[in-house]
Amino acid sequence: MNRIEIYAMRCGTVGTDETVPDKRKSRNPFAYSGILRGKKHQVWLPVYVYLIVHPKGKILIDTGWHTQVRQDQKKHLSWKLNIASKALLPVGEAVTEQLKALGLSSEELDYVLLTHLDVDHVSGLELVKDAKCICASDAELCAVEKGDIRYNRKLWENIAIQPIHMENTGLGPHGRSVDVFQDGTVQFVDVSGHSAGTTGVLIQNQGKFVLITADACYNRQSWEQMCLPGIMVNKDKAKASLKWVHDMSQKKECMEILATHDPEIRPHKIIL
């Protein structure tokens, strides 16, 4: 197998309540919304997307913020969701701007995986709508159809998102995954709990692996201290997902654990 390259690209910053990455910060079950919490409880976290350049195809993991948030984020995100999520997107950090810097266009992407459909992960989808395949787990898409208020369907209006049907493989915290290239190198893994269909990505090559966790955990403290996120649809599943990430981080084959909002991460390239 030829080498696999993984690019960690920072696509802006999100301002949110301190309980979003760490539920322990407040006993208020609705603190994550930011309503009546004030700026003293606000934290600013990076928003990372990941580009996997594989011999068999290019995969973009999430999309970060749309350039529209630079002009009117309340209109783009909706005023309700903008209460909980504030966007910052410096020039040069939009996903298409970063792809262009690498000499790539959205048409060259074989897959865009949306780990889940929260605004900071799907806002920039329109920018890469020309990718060959845009996908998210069927469980996540089903949650949207049930009308969960955390989602804004307008962010993917007129864009076809293909459902991923997880298979019972025994891999991951819930034993469900999909082998993208049918060779074990890139696997989409069910790490649900934060949302109904949160999907992680396990990339393996030459005896090493990198794990992209999405929002199953937010930072190193999350998986080392089992800090649950403030937003969960299933606490037991969220705990299981955290435990699995912790266990994977202890393996000698682990090169990196990559979360979307980890302040320790810097833009960089990994070669597997």
CATH number of the domain where residue 162 is located: 3.60.15.10
Instruction: Write down the pLDDT at residue 112.
Output: 99
Whole-number pLDDT of residue 195: 97
| Among candidate residues 158, 164, 197, the one with its CA nearest the CA of residue 178 | 164
pLDDT of residue 36: 66
Q: CB–CB of 122/134 below 8 Å?
A: no
Q: What is the pLDDT of residues 45-87, one digit of tens each?
A: 999 999 999 999 999 999 999 999 999 999 999 988 988 899 9
Show the domain range for 188. Answer: 5-271
Regions of the chain short of the pLDDT cut 70: 1, 31, 36
When divided into structural domains, the chain yields a total of 1
Please list the alpha-helical segments (H only) found in the chain: 69-77, 79-84, 95-101, 119-122, 138-145, 220-225, 235-249
What is the predicted pLDDT for the residue at 133? 99
**What integer best gives the mean pLDDT of the chain?**
95
Q: What is the pLDDT of residue 26?
A: 79
